[in-house]
Structure 1
Amino acid sequence: MENLNQQSIDNLTSLWLAAGIAFGNYQQHTAFDSIQVPGSEWPNRIWLKSAISPEVLSDAADFSRNNQLPLTLSHWGDFENSLQPLFEAAGFEAKSTQIGMSLKLSTPFEHPGRISLETVTTSEQAKIWAELYPQSFGYTISAEILEKANHTVQFYLVRKEEQAIGTAMILESNGVVGIHGVGIIPDFRKQGFAEEVMAVLLNNAIAKNIKLATLQSSAMGKNIYQKLGFTADFLMTNYRLKI
């Protein structure tokens, strides 16, 4: 299970790296790495690469405090979140949690065929995608990220007939498909479209003989993924400095 968790984490950090490196804003520090993208609320991230200690967290807090952009420190651990007091003592507070989930792929999924996935390849498509995304997630990803990172990350517009109703992004790495940013705009929710997007993405991965899918879900979306067979593997907590 530990190796599976690491595959999921590596895919996620590779997604962040794709955005940061495209802008030349990836920094490696002794105990943590960081990424910043001006003009976008995402990924703007810190993640630890050494054992957690008060000293490591103090260094991360100092770096965040001296940074022009607000940074999120993401940490993955057990569901008890037993290390949270250490983060709080260093000046951080938990802003959100996500559940790391995975699914071993074998049998294709049935779906109604109501939607299509359109690969984002033009500036106009990137602009539409960037306008739709915050309607699902409440924060922005700039269109420029899509234009600069689309050689590594596959960005999709979800269309129902001609109308764009949602977003998705995929990163394939080391035999793993990481599914990220699957969102449906409010007018089309609770109609099974998110499940259908997932089925199409998973079937595409199966057709490529990919054996493992990973994602990070909100508590609200967890049931959708469990119905597809995903299991909950770890908790990711996103921290910000206390104001």
Structure 2
Amino acid sequence: MIQENIANLTSLWQTVGQSVNAYLSTPEFDICMVNNAEWPNRLWFRGDHNEAQVKLALEQVKAASVKLIVPYWDIYNSGSQSLLERAGFKRISEQAGMGMDLHHPLKQTQPIRLETVRTKAMAVEWEALFSQAFGYRITADLLLPTYPTTAFFLVYLNNTPIGTCALHHTNGSIIGIHSVGIIPTMRAKGLARQTMITVLNQAMAEGFTYAVLQASAMGKGLYLTLGFSEQFVQVNYSLPPDA
């Protein structure tokens, strides 16, 4: 399930990147590089990396027209993250990879609903809400291609938009939950929990039996109380501007 979790995340990046001709695959790593965007600009290795591969990655990141983030998953027990750090990459954030079996619907206590982004106006609203919730942008144009495996949702409390989420699947049993965010003015009301319950119940109704996600420090506690277990740590690296 650890590999499935990581595969779901990288598949999402690949899916979105391919939709705008911004995805490149090499024997050592994959790259998604969308101009005029902050996401999903990533370079990720196909497995554990060695010094030669890090050198190639460094050249790609330095030559890129956008800032590329390099994720590292602590699943190899090799200490190979030190190769990235010696090459000049700096840690910028950490996330917890988490998973959960889906068995029984959870009790929903607030009228949260999800609306699939289908129009330009909805995509622009999603972009604005996401930016408020997370502090960076996913551009509206990336939400509008028809993705058979991916859907972006506006989150509503009654008829008021309060946040965002996205769902992505790579097979019929595992659902990846991404971009769950509540705008600051609506926080501390239990709405993130109720949004997750709505998402999980929808996933179960659609036949998924396992959910995966990558949690920030702020969200990890919530996901643990819902029944998720921590599987691994994802450390995100980037090059300083003067590197």
Q: Structure 1 unaligned segments of length 5 or more: list them.
A: none
Query: More displaced, 220-229 or 148-157?
Result: 148-157
Q: How much does 1:81 deviate? A: 9.3
The equivalent of 2:153 in structure 1 is 156
Counterpart check, 1:137 vs 2:127? no
Counterpart check, 1:46 vs 2:43? yes
Q: How much does 1:182 deviate? A: 0.3
1:13 to 10, 14, 36: 10
Q: How much does 1:82 deviate? A: 3.8
Counterpart check, 1:89 vs 2:86? yes
Counterpart check, 1:112 vs 2:112? no
After superposition, give the CA deviation of every residue in 1:98-143 in whole Å (9 maximum; x if it has no partner).
0000001101100113221111111100000001101111110000
Q: Structure 2 unaligned segments of length 5 or more: list them.
A: none
TM-score, normalisation: structure 2: 0.94
After superposition, give the CA deviation of every residue in 1:200-237 in whole Å (9 maximum; x if it has no partner).
11111111221110000011110000000000000001
Residue 17 of structure 2 aligns with an amino acid whose one-letter code is: G
1:67 to 53, 60, 64: 64
The equivalent of 2:193 in structure 1 is 195
- Kindly indicate whether the alpha-carbon contact (under 8 Å) linking 1:92 and 1:240 is maintained by their aligned counterparts in 2: yes
After superposition, give the CA deviation of every residue in 1:155-199 in whole Å (9 maximum; x if it has no partner).
110111221110000012212100000000001001111111111
Output the CA distance in 2 between the equivalents of 1:153 and 1:198. 17
Output the CA distance in 2 between the equivalents of 1:77 and 1:177. 22
Residue 184 of structure 1 aligns with an amino acid whose one-letter code is: I
TM-score, normalisation: structure 1: 0.94
- Kindly indicate whether the alpha-carbon contact (under 8 Å) linking 1:120 and 1:126 is maintained by their aligned counterparts in 2: yes
1:148 partner SS:
coil
Output the CA distance in 1 between the equivalents of 2:203 and 2:50. 39
- Kindly indicate whether the alpha-carbon contact (under 8 Å) linking 1:81 and 1:235 is maintained by their aligned counterparts in 2: no
Residue 13 of structure 1 aligns with an amino acid whose one-letter code is: T
Q: How much does 1:27 deviate? A: 0.5
1:176 to 174, 177, 185: 174
After superposition, give the CA deviation of every residue in 1:20-45 in whole Å (9 maximum; x if it has no partner).
00001111112100001112100000
Output the CA distance in 1 between the equivalents of 2:79 and 2:161. 42
The equivalent of 1:227 in structure 2 is 225
Count of paired positions? 240
- Kindly indicate whether the alpha-carbon contact (under 8 Å) linking 1:19 and 1:149 is maintained by their aligned counterparts in 2: no
The equivalent of 2:31 in structure 1 is 34
